[in-house]
Amino acid sequence: MTSVAHLVIGPERHGVVQFALRIRDGITDAGLESTLLRHESASDVTSIPDVDVVHLHVTDRLFGSPATAAAGVVEDLARRIHASGSAFVVTLHDLPQPSDGRSASARVECYRRVVACADTVIVSSEHERDLVREAGIGTPSVVIPLPVATGVGIRTDSGEVTVGVLGFLYPGKGHAEVLDALPPGAHLLALGTPSPGHDHLLDELTESAAAHGTTVRVTGYIDDADLPVELGRVTVPVAHHRHMSASGSINTWIEHGRRPLVVAGAYTREFARRSPGTVTLYEEDRLAEALADAAGDPESTWLEDGVVAHPTRAEVGAAHVRVYAESAVVHA
């Protein structure tokens, strides 16, 4: 059986780190034991074990700034992994998009270098595979969607109408657009904390809410133990990120029994085809109408009985086991 080490780098609360650990759990479910190499920083990696495959999850922000520096860190890890005789498998996250603005070209170059030094490259959606190709980054080896569980959820009456956006606050996430489109009497609930360098968004959202005659509440980081209650008290869950290529926040809503509103796009349509009944699609210019409809029918924001989201953790684990075996053979 293929021997595998999971090299997971970054702070415990980071979404990529959390998904990397969940994917490892899925691989264990599929019957493959693996070694976990858990580090806060790549500089903490002192040795590479004697295994067939080393798997690393990469988003440039976990490995340094600017993006070109992050690429150098991953390339150094790749050299050490290959020197140990292991195949190097990479899962890409937070792929470069035109909305990245001035950092777009540097991020494209970073991901191009990461792809070039890997033996196998995994992305989390067909849309991400298209993004990689269109940007000239390279050709991913395989698509394995992020695992998603189907939850029941805890229904909590907050006594007010709220529209909730889950995840980090940063430009383009959709908070401002959702605030502008709130139904009369509704309040914005930002379930998360600002991304580094974007604390100014708190004041901007607060001022904008006051101008609209409403309020915004920013929860800060929510511990896993508190998520069921916090997500259950939201009247309307929504994901309005216009450049979504894979989404942990959508999965989290579903895992807590919610059926979020999601702006229609290549990725979200792909998601809806794979898991019917788990999301409600709306066109970007129909946000206000979609929010009003959901606020008037809160039951529509909860999963119906019998709905199952895919892929499950076990399905994702089995897909990775196959990829590891193929990577080990090719690298040998």
Average pLDDT across each block of 10 residues of the chain; the chain has 332 residues. List them in order: 94 89 93 94 93 96 92 97 96 82 83 96 92 86 91 88 92 90 96 87 91 93 92 96 76 95 94 96 97 97 95 94 89 62
Count of beta carbons in the 10 Å neighbourhood of residue 158: 13
Phi-psi region of 4 (alpha: psi -120 to 50; beta: other; left: phi over 0): beta
The pTM of this model reads 0.86
Residue type for position 159: G
Give the pair of three-digit tokens for residue 296. 């008037």
Query: What distances in angstroms separate CA 215 from CA 36, 67, 147, 167, one per listed residue?
Result: 44, 36, 34, 18
**What is the C-alpha to C-alpha distance for residues 95 and 111, in angstroms, rounded to an integer?**
8
User: What integer pLDDT is reported at residue 304 of this predicted model?
Assistant: 95
CA 199 – CA 157 distance, rounded (Å)? 30
Longest dimension (CA), the chain: 64
Task: Give me 270's structure tokens.
Answer: 């792909």
Tokens for 23, please give them. 């994917």
Return the closest-CA partner of residue 69 out of 58, 79, 80, 61: 61
Q: What is the pLDDT of residue 101?
A: 65
Q: What is the DSSP letter of 226?
A: G
Angle, helices 266-274 vs 126-134, to 10°: value is: 150
| C-alpha distances in Å from residue 185, one per residue of 76, 318, 324 | 54, 47, 52
Domains of the chain: 4-147+313-331 (3.40.50.2000), 162-301 (3.40.50.2000)
In the beta sheet, which residues pair with residue 142?
Answer: 122
What pLDDT, on the 0 to 100 scale, is given for residue 173?
86
pLDDT number for residue 219: 94
DSSP category for residue 194: B
CA distances from residue 81 to 59, 84, 110, 119, 187 in whole angstroms, order as listed = 18, 5, 19, 11, 50
